[in-house]
Amino acid sequence: MSEAPARVVFTSDFSDRYTGGVKEFEIEAKNLRGVIKALDELCPGLGEHLEEETTVAIDGEVQDVGYYQAIRPGCEIFFIPKIEGG
Amino acid sequence: MPDTITPGEKKLRVVGTRPVRPDGVPKVTGLARFGADYSLPGMLWGKILRSPHAHARIRSIDTSQALALPGVKAVMTAADLPEQKFEYVGPERTAANFWHMTRGIMAREKVLFEGHAVAAVAAISKMVADEALRLIKVDYEVLPHVIDVEQAMQPDAPLLFEDMITRGVEPAPDKPSNISKRIEFKIGDIEAGFAAADKIVENTYRTKPVHQGYIEPQACLARFDADGQAELWASSQGHFVIRALTSRLVGMEVGNLRVYPAEIGGGFGGKNVPYVEPVALVLSRKSGHPVKIVLSRDEVFRACGPAAGSVMTVKIGITKDGKIVAADGVFTFQAGAFPTSPVMNACMCGFTPYDIANVRSVGYDVVSNRPKTAAYRAPGSPISAYAVESTMDMAAASIGMDPLQFRLKNVAKPGTQTVWGPKHTHEGFAETIRALMQNPAYSTPLGKNQGRGVAVGYWFNNGGESSANVHVNEDGTVLVATGSSDLSGTRASMALMAAETLGIDYDKVRAIVADTGSIGFCGISAGSRTTFATGIAVVQACRKVIDELRARAAMIWDAKVEDVVWEDGCAKRAGKGPGEVETLPIKAIAAKRTVTGGPISAEVSVNAGGVAPGFAAEFCDVEVDPETGAVKVLRFVAAQDVGRAIHPALVEGQIQGGVAQGIGWALNEEYIYDDAGRLANPGFLDYRIPVASDLPKIEAVLVEVPNPNHPFGAKGVGEANIVPSLAAVSNAVSRAIGRRMTELPMSPPKVLRALDPQRGS
């Protein structure tokens, strides 16, 4: 039985730079490693940018991008600019 | 302090108390060692030659006379730093370009602002070094300059970089400009949103660059050994990041540089990046001596990044019952001489406190002939909040609604989508506004020429990489070492969390900041991350130590470890008689460490996620003198969702500090340039930060809505507090004088001009 894929969303800036303007993807994966790998296969080189430049919000919970982050079927994944402060 | 411990939750013993901080006594007795306090035998003094011009091409630099001066041991220019590839690397929001960064450390082809470093010397005394600087001959071709951000965007403006094409624009412009980048975030349909509005309010605002105002100027001591190993003693917000950036700029491997953290005399974002460290290292390498550099206040103002200035236009559409249906903001930030201001933060934070279906935030990053901007407490967010919250105030007033009630009606909650994509997941915004509304002072009557202003503000907070080591000493006391610079008393917070987890007294725990050679990587102390992320590492390390202590106790008792529990700082197991309990305190287990396996310690490194954002709501009362235009802040009440106050006194101090800086930003502080592009007020006499007599008592209201992703519920507390302050003061002044103020600082001439254009001119 196939599970609902995760919905992956990029900011406009990021999608303009790296995915030819495509902002949303549907990816089946058990963890963030699988998501990044699948996206890198769709857009070669994208994985490195995701790992170095973004933070991820999984169902709204902001996390650093880590391979080990679990992905729930049907969840929302937003790759957003990495945050640094003062 | 509000008691937000939920029913059934274990009562905390020491978290939430207010003990003396471990760095308190050395700081008040003058024994704490800051960046300038380190010395080594054979040490030289480094000094930096700076550009007198705002914009000029460097035709040549002749250092021969300086090098020939007796007592001078080394002279350096940009030629002594390796060239860097032109590429933007790292997070989009703060993308670093080392081609720019090395030119920021020392100018190459051009000087881009007055105070730009051009050359440096190392000599046996400060006096000889100063004399040597005078002997360096620089041949400049002076170029037209541009200071103001709006002028810098004009098509005929002098260009800082003749080949800079604006990023983020499709198709790419065919001509260069000073606009480094355009960014945009959008949700919903803003045209349809504004079409559905009963009222639309719009205004344009301007802010000036302001300095972080840290008391301690940048300072460091460097020693470069003949084998390529180097050591650096420096005051910074993150010695691991200073190590990474400095080693790259100097051209050495990270592993060959060890950085020791000095006490830091204020940072507020301004000490996230190196200024003097690469220069001192190169001078040490060239001279074969340790080299110390201590900047003057003048140099700090002229060369070490302020916060960005801005021009912003914000438009808000509301229904007649006070629901916001559309919002649009254009935020243009002055980046200084090199790209990358915090305009992305501004775009992301400005409207995020609110539940608005249709939002657009556009940002422009613009270079001009000023020092490169640096982070400043919630970088970007106070600036956009000033524009957004001023416009929110106008919107509330336009329908006669209480401004806090207006914000509460529209406040974001879990499930609300942000303009940058994800939905909010944490509570705390509405609770904070309600706490402010319930403050008795909010309903006190105002007098003549007085006004009350409110504002709210959002900051992301941050997690990330941290390491901690917990070691049980021979006598049962505990050492907690982390790699996080202590800006705000975080050693006390770490000690409290360790004591709570281990079940021992606070005064049995000593927390220190370890150097880059003694602990695993820690990110910078910025983004309000340290108590959250490094705190998680400390608690996890304590838990590992507890597991080890239970195992040691089991060995001493000839028992199974499963039969041993850890409570109140002791190993415990069931005794022989009914209801009897045997105990072994940590001190007794430590005494047996040798025969039970040796030292008892644990180190944990984490990449902490599950950050909960910071939210603040503030109001202030001001009185305006109609004769002079002077503004006196009569009262300031600041409510902030802090998650859990690990050390409430330190949290209150953070809130009071953020508000004090916000008041200065709102009323007094600005860089003033003359016609030649030279800074006219590079000192605290003329650049006026608030002093105690300028400030009222700042009442801090701690709202505690715990973050479930932290062992004690902590959220970051260092930054959200400054976000609303600028707008709160501006809204109060606007209400006091009955005219909307649209420019910071609201110095007396500007207030007078608002009251009467003739008098303020």
Task: Residue B473: count other Cβ atoms within 10 Å of its Cβ.
Answer: 17
Q: Which residue among B90, B93, B376 sits closest to A86, beta carbon to beta carbon?
A: B376
Q: Is the pLDDT of residue B6 over 70?
A: no
Q: Which residues pair with B636 in a beta bridge?
A: B620, B698
Write phi, then psi, for B760 (nearest 5 degrees). -85, 0
Domains B24-32+463-608 and B438-458+612-761 share a fold: yes
Q: What is the pLDDT of residue A49?
A: 87
Q: Is residue B719 among the annotated active site residues?
A: yes
Q: Which residues pair with B330 in a beta bridge?
A: B313, B362
Structure tokens at B166: 């604006």
Interface of B with A in 550-589 (CB under 8 A): none
Q: Residues of B with CB below 8 A from A61's CB?
A: 425, 609-610, 709
CATH number for the domain whose boundaries are B24-32+463-608: 3.30.365.10
How many Cβ pairs within 8 Å bridge chains A and B?
114
Q: Is the pLDDT of residue A85 over 90?
A: no
Question: How would you classify the pairing of strands B199-207 and B310-318?
Answer: antiparallel
Nearest to B418 by CA among B590, B679, B186, B716: B186
Q: Is ipTM over 0.85?
A: no
Residue B343 near residue B367, CB atoms below 8 Å: no
Kindly indicate the confidence band of residue B89, based on its pLDDT and cuts at 50, 70 and 90: confident
Residue B550's alpha-carbon distances to B516, B544, B556, in angstroms, are 31, 10, 10
Question: Total domain count for chain A?
Answer: 1
* CA separation for the pair B254, B251 (Å, rounded): 9
Residue B653 near residue B717, CB atoms below 8 Å: no
Q: Is the pLDDT of residue A83 over 50?
A: yes
Q: What percent of chain B has pLDDT over 70?
A: 98
Q: Are the Cβ atoms of A85 and B378 closer than 8 angstroms?
A: yes
Question: How would you classify the pairing of strands B96-97 and B88-89?
Answer: antiparallel
Q: What is the DSSP string of B536-547?
A: HHHHHHHHHHHH
Model confidence over B32-58: pLDDT tens digits? 999 999 999 999 999 999 999 999 999
* CA distance, residue A43 to nearest chain B CA (Å): 18
Kindly indicate the confidence band of residue A1, based on its pLDDT and cuts at 50, 70 and 90: very low
Q: Which residue among B184, B607, B709 sits closest to A12, beta carbon to beta carbon?
A: B184
Q: What is the DSSP string of B243-291?
A: HHHHHHHHT--GGGEEEEEPB-S--TTTTSS-SSHHHHHHHHHHHSS-E
Q: Searching chain B, which residue's CA lies closest to the CA of residue A10?
A: B421
Q: What is the pLDDT of residue B617?
A: 98
Kindly report the CATH number assigned to the domain that includes residue A47: 3.10.20.30
Q: Is the pLDDT of residue B1 over 50?
A: no
- Asked whether residue A86 is domain-assigned, the answer is no
The domain of A33 spans 6-81
- Asked whether residue A39 is domain-assigned, the answer is yes
Q: Which residue among A80, A83, A85 sits closest to B422, beta carbon to beta carbon?
A: A80
- CB contact, 8 Å: B611 with chain A? yes
Task: Residue B560: count other Cβ atoms within 10 Å of its Cβ.
Answer: 9
- CB contact, 8 Å: B414 with chain A? yes
Kindly indicate the confidence band of residue B92, based on its pLDDT and cuts at 50, 70 and 90: low
* CA distance, residue B611 to nearest chain A CA (Å): 6
- Asked whether residue A1 is domain-assigned, the answer is no
Minimum mean pLDDT range among A81-85, B322-326, B709-713: A81-85
* CA separation for the pair B542, A2 (Å, rounded): 42
Q: Residues of A with CB below 8 A from B94's CB?
A: 82, 84
* CA separation for the pair A55, A67 (Å, rounded): 12
Q: What is the pLDDT of residue B466?
A: 97
Q: Which residue among B92, B461, B524 sits closest to A13, beta carbon to beta carbon?
A: B92
CATH class belonging to B438-458+612-761: alpha beta
Q: Is the pLDDT of residue B345 over 70?
A: yes
Q: Residues of B with CB below 8 A from A69's CB?
A: 609
Q: Are the Cβ atoms of B184 and A14 closer than 8 angstroms?
A: no
Q: Please identify which residue in the block is written with the tokens 């606009």.
A: B179
Please, what is the average pLDDT of chain B? 96
Q: Searching chain A, which residue's CA lies closest to the CA of residue B168?
A: A13
- Domain boundaries defined on chain B: 24-32+463-608, 438-458+612-761
Q: Is the pLDDT of residue A2 over 60?
A: no
Q: What percent of chain A has pLDDT over 70?
A: 97
Q: What percent of chain B has pLDDT over 90?
A: 95
- Dihedral, CA of residue B70, residue B73, residue B74 and residue B75, to nearest 10: -20
Q: Are the Cβ atoms of A86 and B425 closer than 8 angstroms?
A: no
Q: Which residue among A52, A54, A61 sits closest to B610, beta carbon to beta carbon?
A: A61
pTM for the whole thing?
0.95
Polymer length of chain A:
86
Q: Is the pLDDT of residue B10 over 80?
A: no
Q: Are the Cβ atoms of B423 and A76 closer than 8 angstroms?
A: yes
Structure tokens at B502: 């281990």
Model confidence over B248-283: pLDDT tens digits? 999 999 999 999 999 999 999 999 999 999 999 999
Model confidence over B638-679: pLDDT tens digits? 999 999 999 999 999 999 999 999 999 999 999 999 999 999
What is the DSSP-derived secondary structure letter of residue B411?
Answer: B
Interface of B with A in 188-247 (CB under 8 A): 212
Model confidence over B179-193: pLDDT tens digits? 999 999 999 999 999
Q: What is the pLDDT of residue B2?
A: 34
Minimum mean pLDDT range among B100-104, B134-138, B523-527, B757-761: B757-761
> Residues of A at the B interface (Cβ-Cβ below 8 Å)?
9, 11-14, 16, 52-54, 57, 59-64, 66, 69, 76, 78, 80-86
Average pLDDT over residues A50-72: 89
* CA separation for the pair A5, A74 (Å, rounded): 5
* CA distance, residue B526 to nearest chain A CA (Å): 5
Q: Are the Cβ atoms of B422 and A53 closer than 8 angstroms?
A: no
Q: Is the pLDDT of residue B761 over 80?
A: no
- Asked whether residue A28 is domain-assigned, the answer is yes
> Angle of helix B239-250 relative to helix B277-287, nearest 10 degrees?
50
